[in-house]
Amino acid sequence: MKQVTLTLLLVICVSLFPQDTASAEALSNKEHNWSFNPAQNNQPATTEPLYEELIEKYGGLYIGDTREKELYLTFDNGYENGYTGEILDVLKEKEVPAAFFITGHYLKEESDLIDRMVNEGHTIGNHSYHHPSLPAVSDERLEREIRSLEEEYEKATGRTDMMYLRPPRGTFSERTLAKTAEMGYVNVFWSLAYKDWETDKQKGADYAYEKIMKRVHPGAVMLLHSVSSDNAKALPKVIDDLKAEGYTFKSLDEWRLKQEEFFQ
């Protein structure tokens, strides 16, 4: 509990009192690949100590309050494979909020689905315009990747609420965390995922259900890919059974609000 409280305080302090990131170029640009360590018996996952330190320092998120049976459902949407509409139908029926992290390609090609996400109260997150590894590009290119998607999103929807970033490919460095935090973004990683993105290796709804239920834990930030037919088929039972176990699904905005209230 002490560790969770300290994490919350650090994240809040970064959000309310941003660090001086003007010297981001001088920070380490060593590329890291996000990873997490699943625990047994639905206990909270962990990550590398360095990753934990960097996320706390720059106000990111990979896990919520592990004292509460709260879940954050997120999807990565690089391209459409015909299942997002079905997923949105389930979320609407079950009254569950989610975050969809989109690319420039998705924004241009799937305007109807974007409209549904917005109109049905979901969060639209930034997954960059062209999906490059951010440590591999300059500060100027990084800013273009993020701002260009942000601007196109505003043109398409009239909204200016894009504030969550899922680093493309799950790669990051201290420089990219600092730069994107300076731009006003919260880097959102995850504490629950499985290999669901290979569209030619889907194994059925039961397989997806077992993978998700085995790894779920209090405070989980769940990463699923909407290209997976397994996820679309398993999602109704996943949601129903998790609710029956006492879990509630929260939005990323609720996570931010909870931290601000905790700080006050």
Q: Which CATH number fits the domain that encloses residue 133? A: 3.20.20.370
Report whether 136 contacts 154 (CB < 8 A).
no
When computed from its CA atoms, the radius of gyration of the chain, rounded to whole angstroms, is 17
What are residue 151's phi and psi, to 5 degrees?
-70, -40
Catalytic residue among 65, 76, 196, 230: 76
pLDDT at 9 over 60: no
Q: Which domain holds residue 188?
A: 2-263
**Is residue 117 predicted with pLDDT exceeding 50?**
yes
What is the distance in angstroms between the CA of the first residue and the CA of the last residue of the chain? 19
Q: State the pTM of this model.
A: 0.90
Q: Which residue in 229, 251, 261, 85 sits closest to 163, CA to CA?
A: 251
State residue 20's pLDDT score: 46
State the pLDDT confidence band at 256, using cuts at 50, 70 and 90. confident
Query: What is the C-alpha to C-alpha distance for residues 195 and 210, in angstroms, rounded to an integer?
Result: 13
> What are the φ/ψ torsions at residue 220 (nearest 5 degrees)?
-65, 135
Which pLDDT score is estimated for 154?
Answer: 98
Are 256 and 72 in contact by the 8 Å Cβ rule? The answer is no
Considering its fold, how many domains does the chain have in total?
Answer: 1
Give 129's pLDDT tier (boundaries 50, 70, 90).
Answer: very high
Give the C-alpha separation, 45 to 43, whole Å: 7
Query: Is the pLDDT at 19 greater than 70, yes or no?
Result: no
Element spanning 206, H or E: helix 205-215
Is residue 253 part of the annotated active site? The answer reads no
Residue 37: pLDDT band by 50, 70, 90 thresholds? Answer: very high
pLDDT at 11: 43
Structure tokens at 154: 């505003």
Confidence of residue 24 (pLDDT cuts 50, 70, 90): low
Q: Which of 32, 127, 217, 225 is catalytic?
A: 225
- Whether residue 13 is predicted with pLDDT greater than 50 in this model: the reply is no
Cα distances (angstroms) measured from residue 170 to each of 35, 36, 80, 177? 8, 11, 20, 12
Give the separation between CA 98 and CA 229, rounded to whole angstroms. Answer: 18
pLDDT in tens, 138-185: 999 999 999 999 999 999 999 999 999 999 999 999 999 999 999 999
Residue 76 is a catalytic residue: yes
Q: Work out the mean pLDDT of the chain and round it to a whole number.
A: 91
